[in-house]
Amino acid sequence: MAALERLLAEDAALEMTGTTTWFSGKATCVPYISAFAIGSPGDWEMVGLHANGQLGAAAYHRGDDGGYHPFAIVILATTATHLKRISLFADPALFTRFDLPAVLPAR
């Protein structure tokens, strides 16, 4: 979490489409991410991707079966040194548009 906090710009924004959840400013984003998004080691698998010329990742969350299931496509707006915006598109159907697997096997 400390590394992510250092990476976020002071005016960073976090948005989750399909919800009314939106945060602005590092001081607001960090507590939310820490409390609700990080989880425990092994909870998440990320697969890097590009969308509309931006860096991003497919976020898979570990299910009760041990496999990793689609959660969201995450798009990152960056500067040369910081993350300015994290946009989550929490629609598992989007994974097919990026030719991503429906499930990643348990490790």
21 versus 93: the higher-pLDDT residue is: 93
Q: Where are the domains of the chain?
A: 2-98
- In this prediction, residue 79 carries a pLDDT of 95
The two beta strands, 22-24 and 8-17, are antiparallel
Q: What backbone phi and psi angles, to 5 degrees, belong to 94? A: -65, -25
SS3 101: coil
> Is the pTM of the predicted complex or chain greater than 0.75?
yes
Partners of residue 7 on adjacent β-strands: none
Class level of CATH domain 2-98: alpha beta
> For 20-79, how does the pLDDT look when each residue is reduced to its tens digit (9 = 90+)?
878 999 999 999 999 888 889 999 999 999 998 999 999 999 999 999 999 999 999 999
